[in-house]
Amino acid sequence: MPFKIAIASGKGGTGKTTFAVNLYWFLANKYSSSIKLVDCDVEEPNDIIFFPEAEIKEEKVVFQDIPEIVLKQCTFCRKCAEYCEFNAIVVIPPARFAEVNKSLCHSCGACLEACNDNAIKEKKEPIGSINYYRINRGNGIKEGILKIGSVMQTMMIRELKKSVSSNNEIIIFDAPPGTSCPVVETVADADYVILVTEPTPFGLYDLQLSVDLLNDMKKPFGVIINKAGMGDDQVYNYLKEEGLTLLGEIPFSREYAVKYAKGELLNDIPDIIDENFRIIAGELENRLIQYEGNNYFKW
Amino acid sequence: MKEITILSGKGGTGKTSITAALASVAEHAVLCDSDVDAADLHLLLHPQKKEEYTFSGGWIVQIDQAKCSLCKTCLELCRYGAIHYSRDGQLEINPFQCEGCRLCEKKCPANAITSIRNNNNYWYVSETRFGIMVHAKMSPGEENSGKLVSRIRIRAREIATDDNLQYIINDGPPGIGCTAISSLTGSHAVLMVTEPTKSGLHNLKRLVELIAGFSIPAYAVINKYDIDLELSSEIESYLKDNTIPLLEKIPFTPDVIKAMIEGKTITEYKPDSEITKCIKKIWEMIK
C-alpha cells in the first residue's frame, strides 16, 4: 500500500501548491521515484503550471449519473420526491409534471429505489475530466478539473482518487482550500496530513479551523509555516500551546515569490529552500517509520 | 440596492483585505462574509454579535448495532462507500464520507438506521464600525456550505431593504465550485481580485468563464501588481481582450500584513497611502 500524504490549509494562497510541487520534486529526486502527485483542487488545479515540460498522456471525462423521469411511465405518485433528501425532484401531479434539477442532484440513487413504476432512468452528464501528465521524475501528475459551472467538486475528487493506482510508494494529494466537504474527501484516506499556513492573523484563524477538522477526523498531522518572517509570532505560540508538530518553515523571500509567479519554482531552487525541504523530508521519514504496520489511521 | 460580490478563483490574492478596506470607505452598506469555510473578515471588522441563529446542516446517520442483522442491504446501496465493517465485524457509517441521502435508513429491513440533523452551524447579525455585518461559523467538514451562503445573503438583502441601505458588499470564497456559485447567483456586480502569477491568471480565466454564464457585470483589480510586471501586463491584455474593466492596480506592500496584525483595514492603518487612494477609486467606480 502506498503512503498517502495530503497537503491542506484552511486559508487559500498560503502555499499548498508550492509546497506540494516542491515536496514531490524533492522526494522523487532523493527518496523514491515511485511517487505520484494528485491535484485535488479540482476547481482551480494549478500544479501542472510548475512542470512546463509535462506531457499529457491521458484525458478521461468523468460523468455523473443523473436520473431522468420517463413521463410515459410515471404515475406522479411523488415517492421519488419524498425519497430525495436534496430537494432535487419536483412532481406536480395535476400538471402531470415531474423533473429532476441537475444542479441539486447528488446521484445517490434513492429515487430509483423509490420508483415502483420503472419510470426513472439514469443518464450520464459530464462533470469534468481527469488528466494524467508524465514528467521526467517520478510517476507524474494526475489532476482533476471540474467543468465550469458544475457543483460536483466532491464527486470529482472521489473519482480522481479512485483512478490513482496503488502501485505507488508515495502519493501526494494537493487539497483545495477550506474545511468543508471537498477537503474532507481529499484527506479522508490520507495517512498523514501536512497543513500549510502563514504567520498572519488570517493564517492562524484558518489553521485553527483545519486543526479542529483533522482532530474530528482523527488524522495525524504536522504544520508547515510558509512565508516565515512575514507576519508575527501568534502561529508559533499557538502551535507551542497546543503541542502541535511544526514540521518546518519556508522563509518569505520576494525573489522566490517572483519565481512562483512565473511558474519557475523548480529551476535553480535556492539553497535555503532545498535545505528546508531536506529537514521536512527527514521529519516525514521519521513519521513514515512510526506509522508503518500500524493501521489505526486507516478508515 | 446593489450587491457587489468579491471573488478571485485563486485563494490568497487579497479578497478579504480589499473587502474590509472597501467597507471602510463605503457608506450605506451591509457587509456579508460568504466565505463560510474560512471566514476571516471578522478579524478586521471585530463584529459585536446582536443576533445568533443555528443553521441545520447535513444529517448524521447512525446504525444501531443492537438492531442490525448484518444483512448488508445498506452496504450494497450506499454509492458513497461510507459504510464499513468495524474491526469487531459490525457495520458502521463513516460520517465524513456519508452525504446524508438516507437511502440506507429507508431501506434497512431491521429499522436499525436513524438520522439526526447536525445543528452545529451558526450565523450572526452583528454591528461593526462600518455598519451591519452578516456572517457565519460552520462546523468542520460540513456539506451544506452552499445553502448557508444563500441563507446569510438573504438576510443581508432583508437588512438592506429594511434599513434603506444602498449596497451589499459580499466577501466570497476562493474557487469556482458550489460556494462560489452560491455567492455569485443574483449579485449585481462582481469584483475579481487577481494577482500577477501564472496560477492567478489561470484561475482568473476559469472565474471569468463562470461569471459569463450568469451574465453579471465583472470588474477586475490586480493586487500586488508589481510582484511581476510582465505577468501584470499579460493579465491586462487578457482583460482588455475580454472587455473587462480593470479598475486599479494595487502595489505590493508589507503594510497590508501589518494592518492585519493590528486588526485594522489598510485604509485605517495608512490613511494617506497610495493603496488607500486605490481603494477609494475602486469604490467610486464600482458603486
Q: What is the pLDDT of residues B53-81, one digit of tens each?
A: 999 888 999 999 999 999 999 999 999 99
More confidently predicted of B277 and A275: B277
CB B170 within 8 A of CB B187: yes
Q: Could you tell me if A95 and A139 lie in one domain? A: no
Distance CA B156, CA B170 (A): 9
According to DSSP, the β-strands at A221-228 and A89-92 are unpaired
Q: Could you tell me if A19 and A152 lie in one domain? A: yes
More confidently predicted of A177 and A298: A177
Strand, coil or helix: A186: helix
Q: Could you tell me if A109 and A194 lie in one domain? A: no
Is residue A297 over pLDDT 50? no
Closest chain A residue by Cα to residue B179: A151
Q: Could you tell me if A121 and A206 lie in one domain? A: no
Domains, chain B: 2-56+120-286 (3.40.50.300), 59-117 (3.30.70.20)
- Provide the pLDDT confidence category of residue A298 given band limits of 50, 70 and 90: very low
CA distances to A116, A210, B234 from B37, rounded to whole Å, are 40, 10, 31
Q: What's the domain count of chain A?
A: 2
Q: Could you tell me if A119 and A140 lie in one domain? A: no
Q: Could you tell me if A109 and A227 lie in one domain? A: no
Is residue B139 over pLDDT 90? no
For residue A258, give its domain range: 3-51+135-291
Tell whether B227 lies on the interface with A, counting CB pairs under 8 A: yes
CB atoms within 10 A of CB A224: 25
Q: Could you tell me if A236 and A103 lie in one domain? A: no
% of chain B with per-residue pLDDT over 90: 92
Query: Which residues, other chains included, contact B46 with Cβ-Cβ below 8 Å and sequence gap of 6+?
Result: B128, B129, B263
Query: Which residues, other chains included, contact B207 with Cβ-Cβ below 8 Å and sequence gap of 6+?
Result: B7, B8, B9, B176, B180, B192
Between vectors from CA B15 to CA B34 and to CA A141, what angle results, nearest 5°?
95
Whether A57 is in a domain gets the answer no
List, in sequence order, every residue forming a beta bridge with A5; answer none if it has no partner: A172, A192
Q: What is the domain-level CATH number for residue A85?
A: 3.30.70.20
ipTM > 0.90 for the complex: yes
Is residue B151 over pLDDT 90? yes
More confidently predicted of A233 and A32: A233
Distance CA A219, CA A3 (A): 14
B19, B96, B265: best to mutate for the A interface, most A CBs within 10 A: B96
Give the cell for residue A194: 501536512
Is residue A288 over pLDDT 70? no
Q: Could you tell me if A232 and A270 lie in one domain? A: yes
Give the pLDDT confidence score for residue A274 in this predicted structure.
Answer: 86
Q: Could you tell me if A230 and A164 lie in one domain? A: yes
Answer whether A260 sits within 8 Å of B140, measured CB to CB: no
Q: What is the domain-level CATH number for residue A237?
A: 3.40.50.300
Is residue A287 over pLDDT 80? no
Give the cell for residue A127: 462533470
Whether A297 is in a domain gets the answer no
Burial of residue A199, with CB atoms counted within 10 A of its CB: 0-12 exposed, 13-18 middle, 19 or more buried: buried
Query: Which amino acid, A138?
Result: G
Is residue A295 over pLDDT 80? no
Is residue A273 over pLDDT 90? no
- Provide the pLDDT confidence category of residue A299 given band limits of 50, 70 and 90: very low
The HSE-up count of residue B94 (CA atoms within 13 Å, CB side) is 21
Give the pLDDT confidence score for residue A296 in this predicted structure.
Answer: 32
Whether A14 is in a domain gets the answer yes
Answer whether B99 sits within 8 Å of A205, measured CB to CB: no
- Provide the pLDDT confidence category of residue B246 given band limits of 50, 70 and 90: very high
**pLDDT tens for each residue of A77-104:** 999 999 999 999 999 999 999 999 988 8
CB A127 within 8 A of CB A63: yes
More confidently predicted of A254 and B101: B101
CB B195 within 8 A of CB B1: no
According to DSSP, the β-strands at B246-250 and B218-223 are parallel
Distance CA B266, CA A19 (A): 29
Mean predicted lDDT score pLDDT of chain B: 96
Q: Could you tell me if A151 and A278 lie in one domain? A: yes
Whether A58 is in a domain gets the answer no
Q: Which chain A residues are within 8 Å of B202, Cβ to Cβ?
A: 44, 46, 49
CA distances to A88, A121, A190, B82, B123 from B74, rounded to whole Å, are 22, 21, 25, 10, 34
- Provide the pLDDT confidence category of residue A182 given band limits of 50, 70 and 90: very high
Q: Could you tell me if A213 and A275 lie in one domain? A: yes
Q: Could you give the residue ranges of the DSSP H alpha helices within chain A?
A: 16-30, 79-83, 110-114, 153-162, 181-187, 201-216, 234-242, 254-262, 271-291
Answer whether A109 sits within 8 Å of B199, measured CB to CB: no
Q: Which chain B residues are within 8 Å of A188, Cβ to Cβ?
A: 94, 96-97
Give the pLDDT confidence score for residue A54 in this predicted structure.
Answer: 94
Last residue of some domain: A125, A157, A176? A125
